């Protein structure tokens, strides 16, 4: 039994988190296309805001928008009336952390999402980038560049990006040459959420079975709550888990930061994936929950336990494919952090899903032969998966792409490519077209020889020897890289592997350039090994705080904390 949520209540408020102005849905936000990695004529930034928490003499706290682009502060607040509930919900709730960055999600009545990438500073300032793309690290680093370049230089960066169309996956933004640096779109062909922090999941979930169970719950569209010490950690887990279930998309309620005033959403019947603070648990106890999976994170952000209330624990199908995935993840954990790449991690999961579900997705559940259906708990998992919205949409989009006449657009989707590799007898024409495309310069044959399309069987042995369904890195190669990294101090990985991800490129640009304040020619970054945001401290409170937001022009006294510990002029 769950609480009845009436019209106009908090549940409706979440689904109307921003005012729609008839903005054209992009290929990424429409949820009707899986080729989100293509370019778009619109900017990747819908709105950029600088917000400030002010304390009045009477103790009242008000959040004001001091600068925004491309809209004025007043217009921005009209477009995003509930911004204060999410953008500053973490104020005063976190202990000392190296980087207080988190992401919230605004969802309109049509289900189209906008992601609010937020970086908060110790002086009460918060930089918020609202975007249709979940590129968390990209926009966190943009916030870093904004504050370290001073008011004038930071605004110049933001305005340049807002005037650029969005390039294809991995492409460079067409910013002016006099800007002094370049921006590259994250290489999100493997997964739209690849620029979150999926590698952290290897250490946040020390028990791999807990991670597999949570991923199974995500695919089966359960009610899932992530509970943690601060929203920076919680939103990181909520966003990153979605990278590990690609190509399945979470189509339901997604709230990485759930304000206390909206806790009744937890009683909603539709599936949800939300994040709350440990300090909010007393308020949650007053909400009547029907069934829920609760992941509890400790003070350090590590999973301590997974609780199931009126729910049975689900498991990914146990087979040689799962053993290969487990082996690959174990070896990936062994590598030095600097040698771990997101592509290796996402390739492991993508190939596992392609090997496990590829035939069903390509043929559809009606075309999947009854005699081949697995029995027992694995069969039950498949039957439940068939009923989910994410599986239905994925199957329809894959079949539509494969049946499109005279079109090879399906090659732009890594999951379809991996699935076709393993189904060459079922789709011989597509398979031959795929091989020919690679031989004509797709890059895989040139780089990895006969790895492409030659080792379709995916189990522990073939994964260790040959690779993951044609992906470039097998467990054997991963193991060799790990040994070389530990014994020789170097990695055998290709020189340009990390360059696929502009999150790394932006770090490199920070390390290789000196950025200047608008008011002087003194470098504000002199430590060229620095990669972290300024340290943030806020005292812990018993519950989250929410604020009303008002427009307020930026004054000359506004300053941000410098990476060197002194305010910028």
- What's the confidence (pLDDT) of residue 382? 86
CB 492 within 8 A of CB 484: yes
Q: For the chain, which domains are there?
A: 10-304 (3.30.450.200), 320-499 (no CATH)
Distance CA 360, CA 387 (A): 13
Two structure tokens written together for 221 = 């569209």
Q: Write down the pTM of the prediction.
A: 0.75
- What's the confidence (pLDDT) of residue 3? 34
What is the DSSP secondary structure assignment for residue 440, as one 8-state letter? I
Distance CA 157, CA 179 (A): 7
**Rounded mean pLDDT for each run of 10 residues along the chain, 569 residues in total:** 38 42 42 60 93 78 88 90 75 48 87 89 86 93 90 92 91 87 86 88 92 95 94 91 90 89 90 93 91 94 94 85 85 79 84 83 65 66 88 86 78 82 80 79 42 41 45 54 61 40 32 32 30 37 50 46 36
Distance CA 48, CA 51 (A): 10
- What's the confidence (pLDDT) of residue 145? 92
Q: What are phi and psi of 69, to 5 degrees?
A: -155, 140
- What's the confidence (pLDDT) of residue 365? 65
Q: How far from the centroid of its chain's Cα atoms is residue 35's Cα? A: 16
């Amino acid at each position: 039994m769950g609480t009845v949520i009436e019209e106009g209540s908090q549940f409706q408020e979440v689904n109307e988190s921003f005012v729609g102005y008839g903005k054209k849905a992009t290929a990424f936000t429409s949820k009707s296309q899986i080729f989100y990695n293509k370019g778009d004529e619109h900017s990747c930034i819908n709105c950029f805001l600088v917000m400030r928490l002010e304390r009045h003499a009477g103790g009242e706290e008000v959040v004001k928008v001091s600068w925004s682009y491309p809209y004025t502060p007043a217009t921005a607040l009209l477009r995003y009336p509930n911004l204060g509930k999410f953008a500053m919900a973490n104020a005063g709730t976190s202990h000392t952390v190296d980087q207080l960055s988190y992401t919230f999600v605004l969802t309109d009545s049509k289900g189209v999402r906008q992601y609010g990438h937020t970086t908060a500073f110790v002086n009460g300032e918060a930089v918020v980038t609202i975007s249709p793309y979940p590129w968390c690290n990209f926009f966190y680093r943009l916030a870093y560049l904004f504050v370290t370049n001073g008011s004038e230089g930071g605004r110049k960066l933001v305005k340049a990006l807002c005037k650029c169309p969005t390039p294809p996956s991995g492409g460079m933004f067409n910013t002016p040459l006099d800007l002094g640096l370049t921006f590259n779109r994250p290489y999100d062909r493997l997964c739209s959420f690849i620029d979150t922090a999926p590698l952290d999941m290897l250490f946040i979930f020390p028990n791999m079975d807990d991670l597999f169970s949570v991923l199974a719950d995500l695919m089966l569209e359960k009610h899932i709550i992530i509970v943690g010490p601060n929203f920076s950690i919680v939103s990181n887990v909520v966003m990153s888990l979605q990278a590990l279930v690609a190509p399945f998309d979470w189509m339901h309620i997604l709230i990485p930061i759930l304000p206390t005033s909206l806790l009744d959403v937890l009683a909603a019947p539709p599936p949800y994936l939300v994040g709350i603070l440990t300090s909010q648990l007393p308020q949650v106890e007053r909400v009547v929950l029907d069934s829920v999976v609760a992941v509890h994170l400790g003070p350090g952000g590590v999973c301590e336990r997974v609780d199931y209330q009126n729910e049975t624990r689900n498991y990914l199908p146990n087979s040689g494919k799962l053993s290969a995935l487990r082996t690959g993840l174990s070896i990936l954990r062994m590598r030095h952090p600097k040698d771990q790449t997101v592509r290796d991690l996402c390739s492991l999961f993508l190939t596992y899903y392609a090997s496990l579900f590829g035939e069903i997705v390509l043929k559809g559940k009606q075309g999947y032969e009854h005699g081949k259906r697995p029995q027992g708990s694995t069969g039950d998992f498949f039957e439940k998966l068939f009923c989910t919205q994410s599986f239905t949409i994925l199957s329809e989009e894959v079949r539509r792409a494969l049946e499109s006449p005279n079109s090879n657009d399906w090659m732009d989707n890594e999951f379809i490519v991996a699935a076709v590799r393993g189904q060459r007898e079922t789709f011989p024409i597509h398979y031959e077209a795929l091989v020919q495309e690679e031989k004509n310069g797709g890059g895989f044959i040139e780089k990895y020889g006969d790895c492409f399309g030659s080792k379709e069987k995916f189990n522990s042995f073939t994964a260790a020897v040959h690779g993951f369904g044609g992906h470039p890195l097998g467990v054997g190669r991963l193991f060799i890289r790990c040994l070389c990294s530990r014994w020789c101090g170097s990695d055998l990985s290709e020189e340009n592997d990390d360059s696929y991800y502009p999150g790394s490129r932006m770090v490199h640009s920070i390390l290789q350039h000196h950025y200047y304040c608008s008011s002087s020619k003194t470098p504000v970054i002199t430590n060229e090994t620095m990669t972290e945001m300024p340290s943030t401290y806020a005292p812990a409170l018993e519950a989250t705080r929410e604020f009303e937001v008002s427009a307020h022009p930026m004054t000359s006294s506004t300053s941000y904390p410098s990476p060197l510990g002194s305010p910028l002029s």
